[in-house]
Amino acid sequence: MTGLVKMVTVSILYDVLRWEEKELLKKASEMSISVVSVDIRKFSPALGDKCPKNLGDISIQRSVGFYRGLFSTAVLEHMNHRVVNTYRSLEITGNKMMTSLHLYQNGIRTPFTAFAFDEDAALRLFMERFNGEAVLKPITGSWGRMIALLKDKFAAQAVLHDRSLMHPIQSVYYFQEFVRKPGRDIRIIVAGEEIIAGMYRYQTGDEWRTNAAIGGRVEKLPKDSEIEELAIKSVSFLDTGIYGVDIMETDGGPVVNEINGTMEFRGTTAASGTDVASEMLKFVVKQEKC
């Protein structure tokens, strides 16, 4: 098996070298997997170019910048180079609206969600469909940035107007019901049809969000077949890949909130005790050998 692994060269595509990318490089070396790191900001292809040899046999897309990662993946796929995750999957998971639409279409329970495309329509939606309380999210973005818990008409008016003055993408208004979860949510990392690891993410202090990036406390998730089955089902409409599935517990059962196609995993590694980077690499090498 070791000799087989050595035949594959994996490239880590990045724009910011974070703990996760360094961990992938470190673990690949320990596993005798040939690995290279590639700063995708220096990738400047033209139509008709062949895939650069330094990208190896298969790449893991780890760019922080959503559009940089998305479109560099598109170019590489047109060069017949395999990237985990695929352009199609990144396009869906990097857009909360598209994720919600696909979850609903595939019969996966998700919080009540609605959309508007005009400031006045957004305010009416907030008041009439959400009774004046909802979470407003940008359709792209991570780390809990620009997510607003709106609890009255006047706060909503102010925030919606501010968004209307920003980049046009912020005038696609994405509302979700405010789920009264038990002070925590769940992150599950799925590779293909296998669970790699899971964790609870807890709110801290007066913060209603649970993102580890803003200080949320993390804890190992005990084995839970219902949660694991839901996580695997949640990525079934995506191309085979590695995903972070965010799940919230409700009185009516668990609901899938979001799916992340380039998730961070430092918190999950620490909380679960699982070597997430090594499991990711094993999965990627297997994909190249399919």
pTM of the predicted model as reported, rounded to 2 decimal places:
0.93
Cβ proximity of 35 and 29 under 8 Å: yes
80: left (phi over 0), alpha (psi -120 to 50) or beta: left
> Where along the chain do the CATH 3.30.470.20 domains lie?
180-286
Rounded mean pLDDT, 171-198: 96
> Where along the chain do the CATH 3.40.50.20 domains lie?
2-92
Considering the domain 2-92 in this protein, what is its CATH number?
Answer: 3.40.50.20
pLDDT for 142: 81
pLDDT in tens, 30-83: 999 999 999 999 999 999 999 999 999 999 999 999 999 999 999 999 999 999
Considering the domain 180-286 in this protein, what is its CATH number?
Answer: 3.30.470.20
Q: Kindly indicate the confidence band of residue 254, based on its pLDDT and cuts at 50, 70 and 90.
A: very high
- DSSP state at residue 253: -
pLDDT above 90 covers a percentage of the chain that reads: 88
Nearest CA among 65, 68, 33, 40 for reference residue 55: 40
pLDDT for 134: 98
Q: Is the pLDDT score of 3 beyond 60?
A: no
- DSSP state at residue 278: H
Q: Is the pLDDT score of 285 beyond 70?
A: yes
pLDDT in tens, 150-173: 999 999 999 999 999 999 999 999
Q: Kindly indicate the confidence band of residue 97, based on its pLDDT and cuts at 50, 70 and 90.
A: very high
The CATH number for 113-176, chosen from 3.40.50.620, 3.30.1490.20, 3.20.20.70, 3.90.105.10, is 3.30.1490.20
71 burial type by CB count under 10 A (0-12 exposed, 13-18 middle, 19+ buried)? middle
Q: Is the pLDDT score of 256 beyond 70?
A: yes
DSSP per-residue codes, 196-221: EEEEEEE--TT-----GGGT-EEEEP
Residues whose CB is less than 8 angstroms from the CB of residue 232 and which lie 6 or more positions away in sequence, other chains included: 190, 193, 195
pLDDT for 289: 61
> Where along the chain do the CATH 3.30.1490.20 domains lie?
113-176
Write the secondary structure of 224-279 as one string of H (helix), E (strand) and C (coil).
CHHHHHHHHHHCCCCCCCEEEEEEECCCCCCEEEEEECCCCCHHHHHHHCCCHHHH
pLDDT for 203: 84
Cβ proximity of 51 and 81 under 8 Å: yes
At residue 36, the 3 state secondary structure works out as strand
Cβ proximity of 59 and 82 under 8 Å: yes
Angle among Cα 183, 186, 188 to the nearest 5 degrees reads: 170
